[in-house]
Structure 1
Amino acid sequence: MEKLNFNGRLVGPGEPPYFIAEIGANHNGDMGLCKKMINSAIECGADAVKFQSWSSKTLISKAEYERNTTYTDTNRHFGSLKEMVDKYQFTHEQHLEILAYCKTKGVEFMSSAFSPEEVDMLLEMNVPCIKLASMDVNHIPLLKYVGSKGCQVMLSTGMASMGEIETAVNTLREAGSGPIALFHCISIYPPEYKDIHLNNMKTLEQAFDVPVGFSDHTIGSAIPLAAVALGACIIEKHFTTDKDMDGWDHWISANPAEMTVICKDGMNVWKALGSTTRTVSEAEMEKRTKFRRSMVTTRAIKKGEILKAEDFDFLRPGTGVGPEELKYAIGRKAAQDLTDGAEVKWDDFA
């Protein structure tokens, strides 16, 4: 399996999980707010911040705009769909501003591309990979274009059948793509737990021999941590500094407290997975003497007596004859007098 390489950071099985704070359009068109979110994501432990590179022309049709001119939910919407897209789109100038800011902060800048023009823009910015959203799993022309660039690709698989995913992966590979990572994803905000099927990550890994991550739309931190435990190489989680802020995705995004848990405890979960080889640490070996049991007498024993199993019990600490060694004591003679409850040593046997 070919791992991804994000500016020297390998991503794939056996490597530490990679945590992406998906700011997306949560900047609400405000670059000051965007920078505050980047700072907060870094404090939480995110390896990268990710955005969405679309414009009012590359995402939605004119007819769809005309069908969506007003909304009753004024917390997540204002005005018409066209007005929101115009405000929340990430312009070329904003891309450059935020890329430069990420460089000064030492955090990776990533983004999802939604058109060939946006692919070219991101590659000119030397992003480490191109992210493709679930909506474009069946966008064969875009997949071919991205693959022809030879770049690394992260592809979300929400709403897609295995056949569609196979076609997408084959299209990328046949076009000349670099290493590919697939994201297990449920494109419901938020999904019901019964519909998440985290075990699908192993299915994708086995079927396509690629690193597999999890693009999460659940509320809270439990499910991404479970994904790490099941082998997710990348965790992508929507992020905001305030769930109550006006905008599309703030309410289903992780806040700083939740993102900190995901990043910090996610890394702890990965460390705890360890190896499939059974080992006992030095610290545990030292615990043996305190936690295990040793042989003690259950009565006073005279020198020369033949020893029987009922003459012994086993109590802490584990500094003497162990219970697994009882068979070597039975039938032997006592080498000296032993008091009731004495800790038995090997030289107490004749």
Structure 2
Amino acid sequence: MNNNFFQKVSDGKYPYIIAEIGANHNGDIDLAKIMIRSAAECGCDAVKFQSWTPSSLIAQVEYDRNQKYDDSPKKHFGSLKEMVERYYLRQDQHFELKRFCEEIGVDFCSSPFSPEEADLLCELGVPFIKVASMDVNNHEFLKHVASKKKPIILSTGMASLAEIDRAVKTIEKAGNKEIILLHCISIYPPVNEDINLRNISMLQQTFGYPAGFSDHSLGVTIPLASVVLGAKVIEKHFTTDKNLPGWDHEISANPAEMKSIVEESRNICDALGSFARVVSEAEEQKKAKFRRSIVLKTNLKSGDIIRLEDLTFKRPGTGIQPDEVPYVLGRKVNRSINADELLTWNDLL
């Protein structure tokens, strides 16, 4: 098992950010490389593709109906079969893009859609296998992927809690307990009310595995919010140009958005800090300037007894503290003190 990756994600201070290029390369290997380089420059940990062929994903009967996937915001060219033929990643291109990722210094990964494609990814030496939401109930496929002894990142879109439970148990029974669950809504884009980000915490608590978020929302707000709920992985569709033709460009993050997700997620993690209450050294130093001290409201002569009506509270905080009033009242002063002076312990008999 690839314990290094699983532990890296489980114990990491910052979420592991995956730029989901998917089929946004539009069948153009040069465009794919441009997107890889751009994602790396944004600070992403990985770029992810999709590994399928015209025959491994869709049955002929679906092609025969001339089916079009028209639920995404951009209209596409031609039939479903024509788009699949153009957009799928060839086997040799997998190897070429993997080498390019190694040169750039970003992890190459992909979602396989058949056992043979899972085998190909293992041959390439990917750090993990990403299973798409559509295969949550594809138990024979899950068994095969689990047998590869690599960490599995499993998206949970469209799945009930019972289906997720069966998927997890199927993977575990096959001998693989390095699972990362991604909360996901398989709508492009979903309405905010349907996103239910608290499912991230629920999945982690229910199954005891690291949880993250596969995002299909527009913009950066929702994926950044997932960090607060403990997302260990953030997967976000990525493109260099939202106006390109294709399935997912319009709902993808552009480089500016992706860079914001990477940088701001780290800022959020730094700011989340500890559950324990801690006053920083910088705040301790602020006390002298920003807190108040006991100050005389009236002039007092040596021997006068201090009453509450003789006192007020003003900056700086270098004198007797306001919460120490009970230890001051009823005591005599040992010198004459003017109004608006800070009272000190040396002034008291």
TM-score, normalised via structure 1 length: 0.95
* Alignment correspondent of 1:29: 27
Deviation at 1:76, TM superposition (A): 3.6
How far apart, in 1, do the equivalents of 2:203 and 2:74 lie? 37
Q: Given that residues 4 and 12 in structure 1 are in contact (C-alpha distance below 8 angstroms), is that contact kept between their aligned partners in structure 2?
A: no
Aligned runs of 1:196-345 on 2, under 5 Å? 196-345=195-344
Q: Given that residues 118 and 129 in structure 2 are in contact (C-alpha distance below 8 angstroms), is that contact kept between their aligned partners in structure 1?
A: yes
* Alignment correspondent of 1:159: 158
Segments of structure 1 that go 5 or more residues without pairing to the other structure are none
How far apart, in 2, do the equivalents of 1:273 and 1:266 lie? 10
How far apart, in 2, do the equivalents of 1:3 and 1:233 lie? 17
Give SS of 1:19's match.
strand
**Could you tell me the percent identity over the aligned residues?**
54
Q: Given that residues 13 and 211 in structure 1 are in contact (C-alpha distance below 8 angstroms), is that contact kept between their aligned partners in structure 2?
A: no
Judge which range, 313-322 or 179-188, deviates more. Answer: 313-322
Segments of structure 2 that go 5 or more residues without pairing to the other structure are none
Q: Given that residues 293 and 315 in structure 2 are in contact (C-alpha distance below 8 angstroms), is that contact kept between their aligned partners in structure 1?
A: yes
Aligned in 2, Cα 1:139/1:71: closer, same or farther, shift over 3 Å? closer
Q: Given that residues 74 and 250 in structure 2 are in contact (C-alpha distance below 8 angstroms), is that contact kept between their aligned partners in structure 1?
A: no
Is 2:48 aligned against 1:50?
yes
* Alignment correspondent of 2:99: 100
Question: Match of 1:81, as an amino acid?
Answer: L
CA deviation profile, 1:275-320 (whole Å, cap 9, x unmatched): 1111111111111111111111111111110001111111111111
* Alignment correspondent of 1:62: 60
Q: Which 4+ stretches in 1 moved above 4 angstroms?
A: 69-75
How far apart, in 2, do the equivalents of 1:331 and 1:169 lie? 70
How far apart, in 2, do the equivalents of 1:42 and 1:349 lie? 67
How far apart, in 2, do the equivalents of 1:144 and 1:204 lie? 21
Aligned in 2, Cα 1:161/1:69: closer, same or farther, shift over 3 Å? closer
How far apart, in 2, do the equivalents of 1:112 and 1:258 lie? 23
How far apart, in 1, do the equivalents of 2:243 and 2:81 lie? 23
How far apart, in 1, do the equivalents of 2:3 and 2:294 lie? 56
How far apart, in 2, do the equivalents of 1:76 and 1:287 lie? 58
How far apart, in 2, do the equivalents of 1:55 and 1:188 lie? 23
Q: Given that residues 214 and 227 in structure 1 are in contact (C-alpha distance below 8 angstroms), is that contact kept between their aligned partners in structure 2?
A: yes
How far apart, in 2, do the equivalents of 1:139 and 1:122 lie? 19
How far apart, in 1, do the equivalents of 2:73 and 2:8 lie? 43
Is 2:17 aligned against 1:19?
yes
Q: Given that residues 2 and 150 in structure 2 are in contact (C-alpha distance below 8 angstroms), is that contact kept between their aligned partners in structure 1?
A: no
Aligned in 2, Cα 1:14/1:32: closer, same or farther, shift over 3 Å? closer
Give SS of 2:253's match.
coil
CA deviation profile, 1:46-95 (whole Å, cap 9, x unmatched): 11111111111111111111212678899541122111111110111111
CA deviation profile, 1:151-207 (whole Å, cap 9, x unmatched): 110000000011111111111111122400010000000111111111111221122
How far apart, in 1, do the equivalents of 2:73 and 2:285 lie? 62
Deviation at 1:5, TM superposition (A): 3.3
Q: Given that residues 183 and 215 in structure 1 are in contact (C-alpha distance below 8 angstroms), is that contact kept between their aligned partners in structure 2?
A: yes
Question: Match of 2:288, as an amino acid?
Answer: T
* Alignment correspondent of 1:171: 170
How far apart, in 2, do the equivalents of 1:120 and 1:168 lie? 20
TM-score, normalised via structure 2 length: 0.96
* Alignment correspondent of 1:143: 142
How far apart, in 1, do the equivalents of 2:271 and 2:2 lie? 22
Question: Match of 1:68, as an amino acid?
Answer: N
RMSD, aligned CA: 1.9
Q: Given that residues 289 and 318 in structure 1 are in contact (C-alpha distance below 8 angstroms), is that contact kept between their aligned partners in structure 2?
A: yes
Question: Match of 2:323, as an amino acid?
Answer: E
CA deviation profile, 1:201-241 (whole Å, cap 9, x unmatched): 12211221100010000001111111100111100000111
Q: How many residues align?
A: 348
Q: Given that residues 289 and 315 in structure 2 are in contact (C-alpha distance below 8 angstroms), is that contact kept between their aligned partners in structure 1?
A: yes
CA deviation profile, 1:250-279 (whole Å, cap 9, x unmatched): 000011111111111011111111111111
Aligned in 2, Cα 1:147/1:70: closer, same or farther, shift over 3 Å? closer
Q: Given that residues 3 and 10 in structure 1 are in contact (C-alpha distance below 8 angstroms), is that contact kept between their aligned partners in structure 2?
A: no
Q: Given that residues 4 and 180 in structure 1 are in contact (C-alpha distance below 8 angstroms), is that contact kept between their aligned partners in structure 2?
A: no
Give SS of 1:57's match.
helix
